[in-house]
Amino acid sequence: MNSIYEAFLEAVKKYPMRTALQYKREGLRMTMSYQALNEAVTAVILALKDLNFKKGERIGILSYNRPEWIITDLATLAIGGIVVPIYHMPGHSLPPEYVRYILKDAGIKILFIENPELYKNIEPVLGGLNDLEAIVLYEGLIKTPYKLVAFGNMVARPVLYSYIEPPNGDDIATIVYTSGTTGEPKGVMLTHTNILSNARTAARRFHFTPDDSVISYLPLAHMFERTCGYYTVIISGGMIGFAEDITTVARDAEEIKPTIVLAVPRVIEKVYNMVVQKIEGGSVFKKGLVLSAVKNLNEYANLKYRKKPIPLWLKIKCSIYDKIVASKFRKIGGGRIRAIIVGGAPLNREIAKILYIFGFNIVEGYGLTETSPCVSCCTVEDNRLGTVGKPFEGVEVKIGENDEILVRGPNVMKGYYNKPEETAKVIDADGWFHTGDQGRFDEYGNLVITGRLKELIVLSGGKKVAPVPIEAKLTSSPYIEQAILCGDKRNYITGLLVPNQKLLENFAKKKNIRGIDYPELLKRKEIRELLKKEVEIVNESLASYEKIKAFHLLPEGFTVENGLLTATLKPRRNKIYERYAREIEMMYGREKSDDVIYL
C-alpha cells in the first residue's frame, strides 16, 4: 500500500460496516460507514473524470471540516490528483488576495467551496485565473462564469466500479501553503509516502484501534489535524466525529465521546481558564475542595513521577479526591478521552501538570508542515512534561549550529512548489531539513524546544531572549488573550498585550465601572493594575534580563483577517511590529507615557 487511497481501501475491506464519519445535519447526528464512504468517494472519482481531471492536476478545497472535505480529498488522491487545502474556520478566513495567490500559484483546476457566502468573499479576485475551470459547491447555489457543479449531484450518481490505477508513494499528494511569519506563501509539497509514514507511526505510537474516535474541529487545511486526526484514524478503522462549529466543540464532544483529542495550546488554555472561572465563582467549600485535591494529587504525581514510595495515607486521600473531584473533570468531553495530543506551540507546563494530576494523559508533540507534520511526540507510557518526546520511528533529528533542530527522514517534504531556491535554503545536500527552531535533548533522549532562530530577541547588551515561552506564560493568565514581546536591539523587554475583553468587561461590572466603551476601559486604573499584577506574576519566574519592563494594551487582537496571524495561527511578528511601531516606540521613550504600563 504505497498510497493514501490504497490504505483507505484496506480499511474499507477490514471494517466495511463500522462507522467512519459522524456529523450533524439539521440538528441530528448522522453516521457514514466505511462502505458508504467508499461508495461516495467512487462516485466523486467518476465525476472528476467527467470533468476531465487528470493525474498531477490540482484541486482546491475552501471549506471547514465536514464529510464532503474527506470525500473530495480521497477521490482526488485516488486519481493521482493533488489536493490544495485553503484555510477556513467559521468566523476566520484568509484574505481574498491570499486565496488568489494560492489558486494562481498552484494552478488549481477545480475549486470545491463550502457555501455561497465563501464564494462571494473571494469572487472579486477570481478573474484572470487561467487554470481554473470549475467550481463545486458543497451546499447552495451561485452565479459564476465558471462551470458550476453541485457536490450533491456528484455523489448521487450511480456508482460503476472500474479499475483505478493508484498513485505511487513518491507522487505528490498535497500542496499546503504556509506563509511562515515572514515573506510570501510557500507551497509545501508532501507525497503519499511522507504522509503515510507519519500516520502509520502515529497509529502505532498511540495504539489506534477501530474502537477509537476523534473530534474534528481543528482545520483540516493544517497537517496536524489532517495527518493525525484524519489519515491516522481512517487507516486504523476508527471514527471521525465532526464538530458542528468551532463554538460548539464542548457540546459536540459530549455527543461524539472521543477517545483521542488533538489540541493546540490556546484551546487547552481557554478550557482551563473557563474551568478556573467556574470554580472561583462557586462556593467557598467547592473552591477549597478543588484546591486541596490539586495539592494532594500533585504530591502523589510528583512521588510517582520520581519513582519514590507513596505513603498509604496519601494513597487513601488521593483515591477519595480522585472519586469526588478529578473524576468529574474527566467527564468533560464525553468521559472517554484516553489521550490529549498537543501541538503547534509550547503548552504552559503548569496547566499541563494540573491536567495530568486530574488523570488526563496529555502529551506534547513537535512538527512542521514541511515534516508532514510530526517529528517527535511523547507517549502515554513515556511522558516527560516540558518535552516533545522522542523522534518518530525512521526520523533522524540532530542539533546543528546555533542549536538549530535538523530533521531527516521519510516525512520530510519534497520541496516548495515553484520555489527551488527556497527549497535549497532549507534542505541541504545531505537531506537535512533546517527547521529554524532551536532545541536540545534531555538526558532521556527527549527533544526540548528552546526557541526559534528568527524570533530570538537579542538585547543591546548581547543577552538572548526566546519570546515564545514567556508569551505562553503570559497567555496562561485568563485575562491575557495574546502577547508579543519586543526588545530586539533594545536594552530591555516590553510587550504588546491583547486582553480578554469579555473577562475585563465582567471585572469592570463587579467594580461598578459602566457606561464607557472598551478602548476607554483599557485606560482605567483598575484594569491597568489588574493586568500589571498578572505580568508581575510572570516576571517572578524570569531572569532579570527577561523581565518585562513595560507593556501596552491593545483593543484589537491579532487575526488571520487583519494579516497579523499566519494561516496556521502563528503571529507575524514583523507585521505586528510594523502595525504597532508607534506604541513600541512609546515603551522605549525617554519620557514616560500615560498609554504605557510600567513595571
4-259 matches 266-335+337-453 in fold: yes
Cell of 250: 464542548
Q: What is the structure's pLDDT at 280? A: 66
How many C-beta neighbours within 10 Å does residue 297 have? Answer: 22
CATH top-level class of 4-259: alpha beta
Residues of the chain with pLDDT under 70: 1, 161-162, 180-183, 278, 280-281
pLDDT at 162: 67
pLDDT of residue 421: 95
Domain boundaries, the chain: 4-259, 266-335+337-453, 456-598
Residue 460's region, left for phi above 0, alpha for psi from -120 to 50, else beta, is alpha
Cα separation, 374 vs 392, whole angstroms:
7
Tally the residues of the chain: 599
* Pair 224, 299: CB distance under 8 Å: no
Tally the C-alpha atoms within 13 A of residue 182's C-alpha that lie toward its C-beta: 7
Residue 401: per-residue pLDDT: 94
Q: What is the pLDDT of residue 485?
A: 97
Q: How far apart are the first and last CA of the chain?
A: 60
pTM of the entire predicted model: 0.87
Q: Which amino acid is at 151?
A: F
Cβ(236)–Cβ(9) below 8 Å: no
Dist. CA 324–CA 524, nearest whole Å: 41
pLDDT at 350: 79
496 contacts 483 by C-beta, under 8 angstroms: yes
* Residues 237 and 18: beta-carbon distance below 8 Å: yes
pLDDT score, position 180: 56
The answer to whether 30 touches 22, Cβ cutoff 8 Å, is: yes
> For residue 519, what is the enclosing H or E element?
helix 518-521
What's residue 412's pLDDT? Answer: 98
Architecture per CATH, domain 456-598, reads as 2-Layer Sandwich (3.30)
Q: State how far the alpha carbon of 280 is from the alpha carbons of 145, 197, 274, 287, in Å.
A: 57, 46, 10, 6
CATH of domain 266-335+337-453: 3.40.50.12780
Kindly state the cell numbers that stand for 104.
494562481
CA distance 380 to 360: 10
Name the CA dihedral angle for 275, 276, 281, 285, rounded to a multiple of 10 degrees.
100
Q: Which residues on adjacent β-strands are paired with residue 448?
A: 440
pLDDT, one tens digit per residue, over 360-371 is 999 999 999 999
CA distance 493 to 545: 8
pLDDT recorded at residue 267? 85
